[in-house]
Amino acid sequence: MTPTEFIAIITAQAQPIILLEGTRNISEETTPSLAAFAAKLALAIPNALFRSGNAAGADDAFASGIISVDPKRLQYILPTKGSRKKFRSLSATALSLEELPAARIDQIADETVAASPEYTSMMKNRHSSRRLANLAAYLLRDTLKIVGYGDKFSPATFGIFYVNPDKPTGGGTGHTIRVCKRHNIPIATQDDWMTWDLQKPLKENADIERIQRIVEKCVRIFARRLENGRGGANKFVYKYLERLLPGEPALNGAIYEDHVIPLVRERHFKGMTADDFLEKALTIYHGSRFGGLELVWDWLDNDIPFTSDEYTDFVEILETALGNESNPPTKEDWEELNDWLMK
């Protein structure tokens, strides 16, 4: 994760939520560097909120840096209301599992198992003993840090971790990273963020102006293809980004999904819902005696500004709708589509 990629992701949000956490096993020599980085981060991104699990070690070190700048921008996610209370800032906000309804905790338990199946038994039996309940609470807390709850504790935008180099995917930190990945939340470990220069606010960084110029160019490309009825808008935007930023697929994806798509949707598809897109797809399918599936997917892949998550969800809806048609696609039609997509 480069600083430019990080900037592209963070500046797309009105109020990004940045998770700061890591291993409990850090040395006294390491603690000041984590605090200093967090403080620089808070100064560089004045519109961001920062989230901590309030654990000893990396969590405390990062949190101290945020507190030194503005403790009101720090959020604690806790297993219990009284958890390590004496180590918390009174000015920060806090949310504990005890404040959530049981149904929501059950959902978080399911999310925990989905990210880390090795904890299936623990989650299933967490009410059987106090020991299991306590162990499970810390993992549920880690999942909650990512998925959030209510308006005051939105889902995380980005995760910054200080991992144990000998066991980077172990323990609660490893689980939290897996939850991030499951929810497509980008992360950076010390191998990345220790190289970032955060001397100036990101809004003053020259990269911001460059990204804004790239975004506007992409939107213009999209608009020309739509207005001329020539199709292939997505494809041409992708090709432009690949030529301009070769070898940087993560940055390309961040620019496209976080910046270009919202602008295109606002300017050219305002108010359109998934049902509207579905109606259009079925119209294309009905209008072709042969190759209807290929025409639908060509339109979907090349002209509709969906994020990757939206695309996946829409494809599921579309496949179900096509299956309910009076002339649904046959197995051979789907095989031909797959062959066509692979070319």
- CB neighbours of 331 closer than 8 A, spacing ≥ 6? none
* AA letter at 6: F
End-to-end CA distance of the chain: 31
CA distance 99 to 154: 15
The closest of 85, 94, 81 to 149, measured between CA atoms, is 94
Per-residue pLDDT reduced to its tens digit, 51-79: 999 999 999 999 999 999 899 999 999 99
Segment holding 221, helix H or strand E: helix 206-227
CA distance 251 to 59: 28
**Complete edge-to-edge strand list for the sheet that includes strand 93-96:** 93-96, 74-78, 49-52, 17-22, 158-162, 187-188
Which range, of 33-42, 124-133, 187-196, 232-241, averages the lowest pLDDT?
232-241
Per-residue pLDDT reduced to its tens digit, 306-332: 877 777 888 888 889 888 888 888 888
CA distance 107 to 103: 6
Q: Which two tokens stand for residue 91?
A: 């000015």
Q: What pLDDT does 52 receive?
A: 96
Q: Which long-range contacts (CB under 8 A, 24 or more apart) does 180-184 make?
A: 180/19, 180/146, 180/156, 181/115, 182/111, 182/114, 182/115, 183/146, 183/147, 183/155, 184/308, 184/309
Per-residue pLDDT reduced to its tens digit, 177-215: 999 999 989 999 999 998 887 655 554 444 556 777 788
Per-residue pLDDT reduced to its tens digit, 236-262: 888 888 888 787 777 777 788 777 887
Contact 300, 281 (CB under 8 A): yes
